[in-house]
């Protein structure tokens, strides 16, 4: 019985190793990107420095997001917004609920972002889930002092 358990454990570890190796080889030239996110007022000034987060992108299809000190037990959505000359399109990546500290963690392994990095008009944000309509790709309310924006955005 122990021998079967050990063999099974070894096979599971080998399969996980090969999955990781595949992901690493899939996008060998994909850069790792870190985007800091800050809470800002409507004039673009940073508000409470404790309310912040980051987006980390790796291997071309893995994205991890953290938010700290947001509103407790509240649903937030990680979005990226892109625009043409006429409209802004909001694309939802994933939605999660904050914990008892107001911290948020979003992981998504099916997000292919390389083309987004070429277009500097794309903006990653953490917004209240109640303020975005993911099916229609638009914001239905605008409460910027409750969102996290990239530190490069005014």
Q: Kindly report the number of other CB atoms within 10 A of residue 48's CB atom.
A: 10
Shared domain for 55 and 124, answered yes or no, is yes
**Which of 93, 88, 112, 90 has its CA nearest to residue 104?**
93
Shared domain for 8 and 80, answered yes or no, is no
Structure confidence at residue 113 (pLDDT)? 57
Q: What is the pLDDT of residues 110-151, one digit of tens each?
A: 665 555 555 555 688 999 999 999 999 999 999 988 999 887
Shared domain for 74 and 7, answered yes or no, is no
Pairing of strands 104-108, 62-68: antiparallel
| pLDDT classification of 87: cutoffs 50, 70, 90 | confident
CATH number for the domain harbouring residue 137 = 2.60.40.200
Shared domain for 2 and 73, answered yes or no, is no
Shared domain for 54 and 24, answered yes or no, is no
Q: What is the pLDDT of residues 57-67, one digit of tens each?
A: 776 667 889 99
Shared domain for 19 and 86, answered yes or no, is no
Instruction: Give me the number of domains the chain comprises.
Output: 2
Residue 82, judged by CB atoms within 10 A of its CB (0-12, 13-18, 19+), counts as: middle
Structural domain for 50, as ranges: 31-150
Shared domain for 14 and 40, answered yes or no, is no
Q: In degrees, to the nearest 5, what angle opens at C-alpha 121 toward C-alphas 36 and 44?
A: 55
Shared domain for 8 and 71, answered yes or no, is no
Shared domain for 22 and 39, answered yes or no, is no
Structure confidence at residue 21 (pLDDT)? 43
* Section 75-93 average pLDDT: 85
- Helix or strand run (H / E) with residue 13: helix 2-26
Q: And the tokens for 103?
A: 């911290």
* Section 3-31 average pLDDT: 49
């Amino acid at each position: 019985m122990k021998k079967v358990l050990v063999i099974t454990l070894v096979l599971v570890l080998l399969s996980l190793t090969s999955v990781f190796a595949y992901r690493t080889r899939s996008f060998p030239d994909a850069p790792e990107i870190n985007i800091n996110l800050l809470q800002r007022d409507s004039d673009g000034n940073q508000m409470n420095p404790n309310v912040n987060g980051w987006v980390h992108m790796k291997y071309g299809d893995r994205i991890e997001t953290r938010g700290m000190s947001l509103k407790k037990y509240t649903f937030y959505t990680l979005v990226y917004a892109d625009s043409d000359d006429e409209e802004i399109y909001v694309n939802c990546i994933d939605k999660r609920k904050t914990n008892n500290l107001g911290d948020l963690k979003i992981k998504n392994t099916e997000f292919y972002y390389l083309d987004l990095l070429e277009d500097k008009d794309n903006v990653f944000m953490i917004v209240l889930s109640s303020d975005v309509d993911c099916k229609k790709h638009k914001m239905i309310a605008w409460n910027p002092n409750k969102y996290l924006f990239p530190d490069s955005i005014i």
